[in-house]
Structure 1
Amino acid sequence: MKQIPTLYTWAGGTEALEKLTTVFYEKVLKDDLLYPVFKNMSGDHSRHVAHFIGEVFGGPQQYTKGDGGSHASMVAHHLGKMLDDKKRKRWMELLLESADEIGLANDPEFRSALVGYLEWGSRIAVLNSVTTTNPINENEPMPKWGWGETGGPYLPE
């Protein structure tokens, strides 16, 4: 039986995720609906998000070790932002459009896992955006995301 790769490896690693978030945030800054939310993001924001996703997808601890972040610090970035479902759906649309544009892995199993994570994470961001109190304590581990119900990618014999 073949070893099932992590979502991080299947996506193409750090390089692919950094390319994804760079292209995505370029779109966000040109988007009338999302620009007001992200206009003050740091120059490192897209790289930090790529590292966060990479770590969640089973990659190295670049976000927690290299960027000095945590699950709680990522949640904190959304506090008080007053996000809504219209913004969440636009965020999803632009991110998936960016994934297609850069040629991110597009097999159904990977895209199912990716969309599942983005739906889960973006809905949590909306929930956390209407409060100023972080529901996650600093010691809570990073979320881990895998292949889910698909059981992994199709790996021919």
Structure 2
Amino acid sequence: MNEPTLYEWAGGTAAFERLTALFYAKVADDDLVGPLFAGMDPGHPRFVAMWLAEVFGGPERYTAERGGYPHMLGHHLGLAITEPQRRRWVSLLLDAADEAGLPGDPEFRAAFVSYIEWGTRLALANSQPGADPPAEAPVPHWGWGVAPPYKSS
């Protein structure tokens, strides 16, 4: 039996497009993170959906059509994202995930949040003045992870 990818479990491309449409509507109205996206390309939500789909095991469209990691990195360099902005971005995304109907089971959400935390912390670091992140890297591929078995004390 084949284990579904996080992309498949989430509902495929349509689920990530729903997520990013709802998310960027929230971002546009937010005083803290909204300014980071002033003048945003109208296609941005769809492009981020492509990125997330690829990260979670879907088609590699972001790499093929947008340039993969180097292109994504270029959007973060020099932004000087703050920790409060990062946290708000995460919070708004998780709210949008609920509204978009992404799976709420603990296994999916743990894997989803794990990537979101990891990715936003990298974006924060890479956005700082003087940051020198690697210019080339693969798009990360995120899976289910393995939780250790629970043992009561």
In the TM superposition, what is the alpha-carbon distance from 1:73 to its structure 2 partner? 1.2
- 2:92 is matched with 94
The separation in 2 between residues aligned to 1:132 and 1:56, in whole angstroms, is 27
- 2:128 is matched with 130
In the TM superposition, what is the alpha-carbon distance from 1:134 to its structure 2 partner? 5.4
- 1:116 is matched with 114
Matched, 1:144 2:141: yes
In the TM superposition, what is the alpha-carbon distance from 1:68 to its structure 2 partner? 2.4
Question: Structure 1's 132 and 18: CA in aligned 2 closer, same or farther, altered over 3 A?
Answer: farther
The separation in 2 between residues aligned to 1:57 and 1:112, in whole angstroms, is 13
The separation in 2 between residues aligned to 1:40 and 1:55, in whole angstroms, is 25
Secondary structure of the equivalent of 1:110?
Answer: helix
The separation in 2 between residues aligned to 1:76 and 1:46, in whole angstroms, is 17
Report matched runs for 1:4-19 at 5 Å. Answer: 4-19=3-18
- 1:70 is matched with 68
The separation in 2 between residues aligned to 1:16 and 1:121, in whole angstroms, is 19
* Count of residue pairs brought into register by the alignment: 148
Question: Structure 1's 134 and 9: CA in aligned 2 closer, same or farther, altered over 3 A?
Answer: farther
The TM-score normalised by the length of structure 2 is: 0.91
The unaligned stretches of length 5 or more in structure 2 are 149-153
The separation in 1 between residues aligned to 2:129 and 2:142, in whole angstroms, is 25
Cα distance per residue 1:63-98 (max 9 Å; x no partner): 111x32211210110111110110011001000000
- 1:80 is matched with 78
Residues 125 and 131 of structure 2 are in contact (CA less than 8 Å); yes or no, is this contact kept in structure 1?
no
Residues 71 and 136 of structure 1 are in contact (CA less than 8 Å); yes or no, is this contact kept in structure 2?
no
- After the TM superposition, which parts of structure 1 deviate over 6 Å for at least 4 consecutive aligned residues? none
- 2:103 is matched with 105
Secondary structure of the equivalent of 1:146?
Answer: coil
Secondary structure of the equivalent of 1:149?
Answer: coil
The separation in 2 between residues aligned to 1:12 and 1:62, in whole angstroms, is 17
Question: Structure 1's 132 and 96: CA in aligned 2 closer, same or farther, altered over 3 A?
Answer: same
The unaligned stretches of length 5 or more in structure 1 are 152-157
Question: Structure 1's 21 and 132: CA in aligned 2 closer, same or farther, altered over 3 A?
Answer: farther
Percent identity between the two aligned chains: 51
Secondary structure of the equivalent of 1:148?
Answer: coil
